Amino acid sequence: MNTRTVGILIFDDVEVLDFAGPYEVFSRTRLVPGAASRRSDESAPFNVFTIARSLEPIAATGGLRVIPDFDFSTSPSIDLLVIPGGFGTRPLLDDELTLDWIRTFTESASITASVCTGALLLAQLGMLKGRKATTHWGALDSLNEIDPTIDVQRATRVVMDSLPDGLVTSAGVSSGIDMAFAMVEHLHGREVANETAHYIEYPRPRPRPGM
Amino acid sequence: MNTRTVGILIFDDVEVLDFAGPYEVFSRTRLVPGAASRRSDESAPFNVFTIARSLEPIAATGGLRVIPDFDFSTSPSIDLLVIPGGFGTRPLLDDELTLDWIRTFTESASITASVCTGALLLAQLGMLKGRKATTHWGALDSLNEIDPTIDVQRATRVVMDSLPDGLVTSAGVSSGIDMAFAMVEHLHGREVANETAHYIEYPRPRPRPGM
């Protein structure tokens, strides 16, 4: 089976659920329903991995230590790039190495999706210019401070308007789970998305305008 | 401030969201509301850490590599013990070292809470004898195979009936987030729990009988 690669950027002070939510959803998606299919990767449509600036362990919020699978120089090609948030995004706004890496990999990715304040990094790169986008409620104003042309969406968990251009943004933390399910649904249909939600017992919120 | 310690057991093939969900909730809870209070631990009522059989990195489902904070011999005392699930629980059912550690630490913990198939380990230890309990939908029957006296709850996300005895079980994967919020609410009130849910933008399901 042709699998898509899902690359999740991680860094010090990344919010745990920002990366772990999408990691869970993409890595547990199966095209064959049921619990047994989760015991192997046979019907797994995604190959999920983490990437960081270096191969050193990162410390997420709360201190959770995660070993990245790849660093910027060894990262394989990425079909679906996930940029999570957390307080750790602030220093990255001036980190040319990270910004360059994101810029390069968004160009080759089919979809780039931010969670929470990961959107600030996309804004910093000018990728959200004139677009509808969202972020954590505590950072909605920061989005416009970085780029006043962004049409900030304050009441939508997953903003899909720019999906035709390969860009998705989601609101705070848990919204990353909804973003991941929206991508599963976009790529593999509602049945696969809902069955995976059933597997991880996640009650997907009902779609609202913009979702 | 007196903080409670939250110890989360991790092991190979632990389900990512099983441990990352409660980790997120407990580590981001603050008694002072708002985004700014999350920048420090000043009003954090919980000190959250992970424990594993050894200090070697574990590989969670999907391959996520996490470095445990403590091993069985160095673990500090634990007020709230979280036992997550995942396919990795099956080999642990015969792992005397792990079962002994859980037995010892449940005795001193105020609350032991399982997520998903973590309940199988508590059942194996005889801790759920004659009690109401739940687990992932794919393992409900296994719970009764291990201990036929368990009153298996098939439609409840968080089973709190044995909370007076310091025991809580929750259903599959995402239900661990609800379990964590239920514990925050139990220990620090509804306002603190709901404000933390607002911070991580998690739509807590409405309480149902048993929650």
Alpha carbon distance A86, B200 (integer Å):
11
For an interface test with B, the pick among A6, A153, A158, A174 (most B C-beta atoms closer than 10 Å) comes out as: A174
Query: What is the ipTM, given to two decimal places?
Result: 0.95
Output the 3-class SS for chain B.
CCCEEEEEECCCCCCHHHHHHHHHHHHHCCCCCCCHHHHCCCCCCEEEEEEECCCCCEECHHHCEEECCEECCCCCCCCEEEECCCCCHHHHCCCHHHHHHHHHHHHHCCEEEECCCHHHHHHHCCCCCCCEECCCHHHHHHHHHHCCCCEECCCCCEECCCHHHCEEEECCCCHHHHHHHHHHHHHHCHHHHHHHHHHCCCCCCCCCCCC
Q: What is the pLDDT of residue A2?
A: 83
For a pLDDT cut of 70, what percent of chain A falls above it?
Answer: 97
Domains of chain A in sequence order: 4-199 (3.40.50.880)
Provide the percentage of residues in chain B whose pLDDT is more than 70: 97
- Which chain A residue is nearest to residue B25, measuring alpha carbons? A17
Predicted model pTM? 0.96
Average pLDDT taken over every residue of chain A: 96
Q: State the best of A18, A37, A56, A64 to mutate against chain B, taking most chain B CBs within 10 Å.
A: A64
Of B77, B142, B70, B130, the residue nearest B106 (C-alpha)? B77
Q: What is the pLDDT of residue B127?
A: 98
Please write the tens of the pLDDT for every residue from B159-170: 999 999 999 999
Identify whether B19 is a catalytic site residue: no
Write the pLDDT tens digit of every residue in B169-190. Answer: 999 999 999 999 999 999 999 9
- Inter-chain residue contact A201 with B175, CB threshold 8 Å: yes
Q: What is the DSSP string of A102-158?
A: HHHHHHH-SEEEE-TTHHHHHHHTTTTTT-EE---GGGHHHHHHH-TT-EE-SS-SE
B211 touching A, CB under 8 A?
Answer: no
User: Residue B209's pLDDT is what?
Assistant: 46
Mean pLDDT of A130-144: 97
pLDDT band at A207 (very low <50, low <70, confident <90, very high): low
| pLDDT tier for residue B211 given thresholds of 50, 70 and 90 | very low
The pLDDT confidence band at residue B210, using thresholds 50, 70 and 90, is: very low
Q: pLDDT value at position A122?
A: 98
Question: Between chains, do A201 and B28 touch, taking CB under 8 Å as contact?
Answer: no
The CA-based diameter of chain A, rounded to the nearest angstrom, is 49
Mean pLDDT (whole number) for A28-32 = 98
Rounded to a whole number of angstroms, the distance from the CA of A47 to the nearest CA of chain B is: 8
> How does residue A209 score in pLDDT terms, banded at 50, 70 and 90?
very low
Name A80's bridge partners: A6, A111
